């Protein structure tokens, strides 16, 4: 029997975020993709063990009910017994985003002149650089590094550690705390930092957002990068205000263009000022400053 299982469902746009959040505790990875502008979304999760069908069905039905949609029809099926990691690596070409050049270990090409090279292999942790929100954060970090030299940095929801590593190479004097609530992501980020020779400048820790003692101990930060989802960003806005140093900058992403107004309003209510926005393929990154 296959060791990997797929959970897939289609929901209206308004239910995509809450349903993806509800599925996350049951799977190793979850994605939500828009089928058509303003239409339905397909939410998929991958599990390494046979999913708990009754619990998943109940959680998804409850999540859908909170936004007034019926329980989604859910497909739970084993995946073919293939080497998915090898396939991911084969389909992962080098990525260029500004000065940052990202490649897997299977790519032997030399890095372009004047580029900052990051070695990232496909893994269970999020963050290969291919998603628009990661690219937007990389662009925002590079633009910020031209004007500022952040010293104390928080990468909140670090995934594979790609943003923390890019910052470590762009601003060698910066010290970054990279945290994620997923221990697998933290272990992956730690190994990636070692492989890219920036481990001494990145402290990787398991943390549930701002609640961890290690995050509170190292605050306030003069730069916070959080590439997560609109819901958690909005929920943590008061914590961001408290954890951001006066004059500090926050780069927030993981939200759709249509969610900008909500996220901006929540952060403005905390006294944070929007200074720039980035958009690509329907996704956004917002840059805020604390006065």
Burial of 124 (C-beta count, 10 Å sphere; 0-12/13-18/19+): middle
Token pair recorded at residue 234: 């909005």
Of 82, 115, 141, the last residue of a domain is: 82
CATH (domain of 44) = 3.30.70.120
99 occurs within a structural domain: no
Q: How many domains does the chain have?
A: 2
Of 19, 47, 82, the last residue of a domain is: 82
CATH (domain of 180) = 3.40.50.150
19 occurs within a structural domain: yes
- Per-residue pLDDT of 100-137, as tens digits, reads 989 877 677 777 788 899 988 755 445 555 688 999 99
53 occurs within a structural domain: yes
Distance (Å, whole) CA 231 – CA 236: 9
- Per-residue pLDDT of 195-208, as tens digits, reads 999 999 999 999 98
Distance (Å, whole) CA 135 – CA 111: 18
Range of the domain at 51: 5-82
DSSP 268: H
- Per-residue pLDDT of 63-95, as tens digits, reads 999 999 999 999 999 887 655 555 555 556 778
Give per-residue burial for 51-81: e unless 16+ CB within 10 Å, then b. Answer: beeeebbebbbebbeeeebeebebebeeeee
Annotated binding site: 134, 157, 180, 227
271 occurs within a structural domain: yes
**Does residue 156 sit in the same domain as residue 256?**
yes
The radius of gyration computed from the CA coordinates of the chain, to the nearest angstrom, equals 19
**Does residue 39 sit in the same domain as residue 160?**
no
User: In the predicted model, what is the mean pLDDT of the chain?
Assistant: 88
107 occurs within a structural domain: no
Annotated binding site for S-adenosyl-L-methionine: 134, 157, 180, 227
């Amino acid at each position: 029997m296959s060791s990997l299982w797929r959970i897939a469902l289609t929901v209206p746009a308004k239910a995509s975020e809450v349903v993806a959040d509800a599925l996350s505790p049951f799977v190793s990875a979850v994605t939500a993709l828009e089928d058509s502008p303003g239409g339905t979304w397909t939410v998929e999760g991958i599990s390494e063990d046979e999913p708990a069908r009754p619990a998943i069905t109940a959680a998804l039905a409850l999540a859908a009910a909170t936004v007034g949609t019926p329980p989604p029809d859910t497909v739970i099926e084993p995946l073919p017994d293939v080497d998915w990691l090898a396939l991911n690596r084969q389909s992962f070409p080098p990525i260029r985003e500004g000065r940052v050049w990202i490649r897997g270990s299977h790519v032997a090409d030399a890095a372009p002149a004047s580029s900052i090279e990051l070695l990232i292999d496909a893994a269970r942790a999020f963050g290969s650089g291919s998603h628009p929100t990661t690219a937007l954060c990389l662009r925002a970090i590079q633009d910020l590094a031209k004007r500022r030299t952040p010293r104390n940095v928080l990468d909140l929801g670090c995934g594979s550690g790609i943003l923390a590593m890019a910052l470590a190479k762009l601003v060698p004097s910066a010290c970054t705390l990279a945290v994620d609530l997923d221990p697998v992501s933290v272990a992956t980020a730690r190994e990636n930092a070692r492989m890219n020779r920036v481990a001494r400048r990145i402290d990787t820790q398991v943390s549930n957002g701002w609640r961890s003692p290690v995050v509170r101990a190292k605050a306030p930060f003069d730069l916070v990068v959080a590439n997560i989802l609109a819901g958690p960003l909005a929920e943590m806005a008061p914590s961001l205000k408290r954890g951001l140093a006066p004059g500090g900058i926050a780069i927030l992403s993981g939200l759709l263009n249509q969610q900008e107004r909500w996220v901006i309003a929540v952060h403005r209510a905390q006294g944070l000022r929007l200074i720039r926005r980035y958009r690509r393929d329907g996704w956004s990154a917002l840059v805020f400053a604390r006065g």
